[in-house]
Amino acid sequence: MKKFIEKAVKKIEILDKEDIKRIFAQQLEELEMRDVLLDSYNAGFFLINEKMKVLYCNKTVKNLVPVSNCKDFKNNDIFSVIKDKEIKDFLKHVFNEKIDKEESEEFSFQIGSDIKIIRTTVFPKFTEFQEQICCLIRFNDVTVERVQATKLRRSENLASMTTMAAGVAHEIKNPLASISIYLQLLNKKFEKLGCLDKEKADKYLSVIGEEIERLNSIVVDFLFAVKPLNINLRFEDINKLIKDLVDFVKPELNEKNIKTTLDLSKFLPKLEIDSALFRQATLNLINNSIYAIEQKKGPKFEGEISISTQQVGDNVQTVFSDNGCGMSNEQMSKIFEPYFTTKDTGTGLGLTVFYKIVKEHKGEFSVQSELNKGTSFLISFPVPSSERKKIESGIDLDEYEEEK
């Protein structure tokens, strides 16, 4: 149709009125069809030029975000059309920073008693029109999606809490039974002898004390696993945290003849990490590795734990590996279940806590394991945007920190 109109314009002097009417009628019909399609779409659109002027918008926009009351937005400044301050601030950030890739953010609006969640997405170099690079701003109502995600998360949390509560009940039952038995035995001794000296009483009291300590450990671990973490993020050198951790466990590793190998990449960006929680999470991994190595020990076997770091894209990856007994597929499928453990002692919450800490840091992880060969945990932490900007601008990270 476009080529046809271009040809018609060149020959307009020789066209009669009926031809011109027919051309305009066809063009109008095509425009109306386009508007019907775009207005019926469940997303709102603004197409704006380099001067921030509106070239086109569909009617759906008015149902999604606060806009001015003018009938036709065409040629109006986008910042006079959109009335919500947070959306305007987001758009100004995208345009002022000259971000040239797709950028999204979600905003909430209250309409009556209902809350709407609108995702605003900017496509800075969407198309070229009238010799200008044009930007598309899209609005999507993601309220239902977010509500369903919240419900799913609550259901998962409830299921997890139910599983953990059942595990706590099961774990508590055994030490309570032991305490009850030893109290009965202690009572019988009193009835038989009339009194007990400290040496005879200690035989029973020491066991009761151990079981009470075990109960306390179960409850403390349970509370840590379920309550929100008090996370204190600071810019940290992950290599230093790992070196400090290895220094801490070195005496135990040496005693058990377990070798440690570090392969830490230089010039890594700083990460936002709670050092105490990171130490707790990774200490759980090392303790598991020590146990796995002890299970495999043989005449010529030499246990080894290796730790490496490297930057991959916008993430820093840390790998904890051991050459211990490894895990079967069945064990692998259960390792993050609360109270699942292959150890004779322990609450089975170590990896549950590890999972929670990594997720609180917006990290990801994967696990690989093979029976009789060993296990590897790969943890990936996002590089903060401020550190990415230093890298992109070519700043030497070490020199920058020294200057600060």
Give the other-Cβ count within 10 Å of 117's Cβ.
16
| Cα separation, 285 vs 340, whole angstroms | 15
pLDDT at 349: 66
Residue listed under structure tokens 């029973």? 204
Q: What angle do CA 237, 238, 244 make, to 5 degrees?
A: 95
Residue 387's H or E segment, with its range, is helix 385-392
| Cα separation, 310 vs 312, whole angstroms | 6
The per-residue pLDDT for range 218-275, each reduced to its tens digit, is: 777 677 666 667 888 999 999 999 999 999 999 999 999 999 999 999 889 999 999 9
| Cα separation, 382 vs 314, whole angstroms | 6
- CATH 1.10.287.130 at 147-226, yes or no: yes
Residue 297 identity: K
Query: Would the CATH topology of 41-140 be identical to that of 234-403?
Result: no
pLDDT at 404: 40
Contact 283, 254 (CB under 8 A): no
* 117 contact partners, CB below 8 Å, separation of at least 6: 106, 107, 108, 141, 142, 143, 146
| Cα separation, 329 vs 320, whole angstroms | 19
Residue 125 identity: K
pTM: 0.50
Q: What is the CATH number of domain 41-140?
A: 3.30.450.20
Full pLDDT tens readout for the chain, 404 residues = 555 555 555 566 666 667 667 766 666 666 666 666 666 667 888 999 988 999 888 888 888 888 888 778 888 999 999 988 999 999 998 888 888 888 889 888 876 667 788 999 999 888 887 778 889 999 998 888 887 877 776 676 566 667 666 666 766 777 888 888 888 888 888 888 777 777 778 878 888 888 888 788 777 767 766 666 788 899 999 999 999 999 999 999 999 999 999 999 988 999 999 999 999 889 989 988 998 998 887 778 889 999 999 999 889 999 999 999 888 888 877 777 665 666 655 556 677 778 888 888 889 989 999 888 999 999 999 998 777 766 666 555 444 444 44
pLDDT at 401: 47
Q: How far is CA 68 from the centre of its chain?
A: 37
| Cα separation, 404 vs 174, whole angstroms | 56
- Identify the DSSP state of 333: T
- Give the helix, strand, coil percentages of the chain, each rounded to 5: 50, 25, 25
The per-residue pLDDT for range 75-118, each reduced to its tens digit, is: 899 999 998 899 999 999 888 888 888 888 988 887 666 778 89
Beta bridge partners of 315: 312, 382
Q: What is the CATH number of domain 234-403?
A: 3.30.565.10
Please give the C-alpha separations between residue 76 and each of 68, 183, 214, 347, in angstroms, as whole numbers.
10, 84, 70, 64
Q: Edge-to-edge strands of the sheet including 304-312?
A: 259-264, 304-312, 315-322, 374-382, 364-370
Closest CA to 47 of 55, 39, 58: 55
pLDDT at 399: 47
pLDDT at 238: 95
Please give the C-alpha separations between residue 15 and each of 18, 23, 190, 261, in angstroms, as whole numbers.
8, 10, 121, 85
Closest CA to 372 of 262, 315, 296: 296
| Cα separation, 93 vs 151, whole angstroms | 32
pLDDT at 402: 46
Domain range list for the chain:
41-140, 147-226, 234-403
Write the DSSP assignment of 127-193 as a string of letters.
EEETTEEEEEEEEEE-HHHHHHHHHHHHHHHHHHHHHHHHHHHHHHHHHHHHHHHHHHHHHHHHHHH
Q: Which two tokens stand for residue 118?
A: 């609108």
